[in-house]
Amino acid sequence: MFLTYLEAIRQGIWEEMERDPTVFCLGEDIGVYGGAFKVTDGFIDRFGPESVIDTPIAESAIVGAAFGASLTGMRPVAEFQFMDFIGCAFNQISNMVAKTHYLWGAPVPLVLRGPSGGYVHGGPFHSQNPEMWFVHNPGLKVICPATPYDAKGLIKSAIRDNNPCVFFEHKYLYRRIKEEVPAEDYVVPIGKARVAREGRHLSIITYAAMVHTALEAAETLSEEGIGLEIVDLRTVAPLDREAIAETVKKTNKVIILHEHSRTGGLAGEIAAIINEEAFDSLDGPIIRIAGLDSAIPFSPPQEQYYLPKVEDVVREARRLKAY
């Protein structure tokens, strides 16, 4: 099947709900309307209003209710209309959901999912990539797929996982990326990166929409004889330390690329992992390409300035290659 990124997620949740009656969805406008981005379009007709619940605009209640239901053995999939709004439920996620298994031993099989990311002129409250708020919360798995195949395989893994998973869908990719996805059931393991493109001169470690930015840059760079290796993390917590070390040991030069703000961003953590696992393999400085340390501005020229671009990757790759 040739599926968009959005359709792959939609199909993944649909198939899990058909497979396992303990899976149900809740969120704002997900039922009759089918969700702001239509990820759950048609679900309420197929699975009924008991299992596809339109909630009040109350993110803490959505997470709290999902958590409570998970304690009875259900597998809730809660949608955030935009991942920007997940901050409203932060205490519930950080102090209730994430700490439960460690503190009192109850498993929490739930998925918190929704659209994140920029490049769509959504403005400061509809463009954020707040994954780092959760990476720094032990007890959560944080997933950020880049392709339809991974999005479907990972949403299925997240639903089947016995732990709370925060699933960031990149809204820029929703209907822009299409690929062939197997018709039969499959999963993609959480916590495993993949090499999106092999190369021998330098590595880019990235995830989500930035994978496609890196792939585009790699085309330009290959014409100049620079072989870019692209590691798509797929999961940002837990990080695939082995895959990070492996690519650095292979190319000896590394760029870390992410969309969210630079300070306190994932690149800092990955640089520390490289320091711990592959310091002797480095032949150049670790380079970070990231969003600005500001809110994401609305106006298209400003937004473009804020966000990492193909030319940023090309420029930094040339600089690092020459180092």
Partner 1 sequence: MGNKKTKSRQSSNGNRVGTGALARPAERSSTKGSHSADRNLRTYSIPDYRLEHPDFTVRQVTEKDKYGHDHVRFEVEGNLDAPVPPIRDSKYLDKRQAIEIYRWMLLNRKMETALENLYKQGKVVGGVYFGLGQEACSCASAYALDRDDWFAPMIRNQGSMLVRGFGARDIMMQYMAKAGSPTRGRNATAHFGDIEKRNMVSPISMLGDLIPVMAGVALGARLQGRNLAVMTYIGDGGQSTGVTYEGINFAAVQNLGLVLFVESNLWAYSTPSEMQYRCTDLAERAIGYGIPGVIVDGTDACQVYDAAHEAVERAHRGEGPTMIEAKMMRMKGHAIHDAADYVPKPLFEFWKKRDPIARFENYVVREKKWLTPKENQDLIAGVEAEIEAEREIAVNSPMPTPESAEGGVFCENGCHEIKPKYGMPKVKKGTAYKATEAAVHLK
Query: What are the catalytic residues?
Result: 126
H helices, E strands: number in the chain: 12, 14
Site for partner 1 in 294-323 (CB under 8 A): none
Distance in Å, CB of 258 to partner 1, minimum:
21
Distance in Å, CB of 319 to partner 1, minimum:
34
Distance in Å, CB of 318 to partner 1, minimum:
34
Confirm or reject binding of residue 187 to partner 1 (CB under 8 A). no
Interface pick for partner 1 out of 27, 64, 145, 291 (rule CB under 8 A): 64
Measured distance CA(248)–CA(66) in Å, rounded? 40
Measured distance CA(231)–CA(248) in Å, rounded? 10
Q: Which two tokens stand for residue 137?
A: 């919360």
Site for partner 1 in 192-251 (CB under 8 A): none
Letter for the amino acid at 61?
Answer: A
Q: What is the pairing mode between strands 194-197 and 235-237? A: unpaired
User: For residues 235 and 144, is the Cβ–Cβ distance under 8 A?
Assistant: yes
Distance in Å, CB of 14 to partner 1, minimum:
5
Site for partner 1 in 73-102 (CB under 8 A): 73-76, 91-92, 95-96, 99-102
**What is the 8-class DSSP label of residue 42?**
T
Q: Residue 163 or 261: which CB sits closer to partner 1?
A: 163
Q: Residue 47 or 207: which CB sits closer to partner 1?
A: 47
Interface pick for partner 1 out of 32, 49, 224, 242 (rule CB under 8 A): 49
Interface pick for partner 1 out of 34, 153, 265, 308 (rule CB under 8 A): 34
**What is the 8-class DSSP label of residue 23?**
E
- Exposure of 244 by Cβ count < 10 A (0-12 exposed, 13-18 middle, 19+ buried)? buried
Measured distance CA(206)–CA(221) in Å, rounded? 17
Distance in Å, CB of 130 to partner 1, minimum:
17
Measured distance CA(177)–CA(147) in Å, rounded? 7
Measured distance CA(273)–CA(169) in Å, rounded? 25
Q: Residue 91 or 263: which CB sits closer to partner 1?
A: 91
Distance in Å, CB of 90 to partner 1, minimum:
10
Q: Residue 74 or 187: which CB sits closer to partner 1?
A: 74
The per-residue b/e assignment along 61-87, b for 16 or more CB within 10 angstroms, e otherwise, is: ebbbbbbebbeeebbbbbbbbbbbbbe
Q: Which stretch binds partner 1 (CB under 8 A): 40-48, 128-136, 212-220, 252-260?
A: 40-48
Q: Which stretch binds partner 1 (CB under 8 A): 43-51, 197-205, 290-298, 306-314?
A: 43-51
Measured distance CA(146)–CA(206) in Å, rounded? 10
The number of residues that bind partner 1 (CB under 8 A) is 73
Site for partner 1 in 105-164 (CB under 8 A): 105-109, 120-122, 126, 138-139, 141, 162-163
Q: Residue 106 or 272: which CB sits closer to partner 1?
A: 106
Q: Residue 34 or 308: which CB sits closer to partner 1?
A: 34
Confirm or reject binding of residue 272 to partner 1 (CB under 8 A). no
Q: CA 150 → CA 33, 134, 140, distances in Å?
A: 26, 20, 19
Q: Which residue has the tokens 């082995």?
A: 242
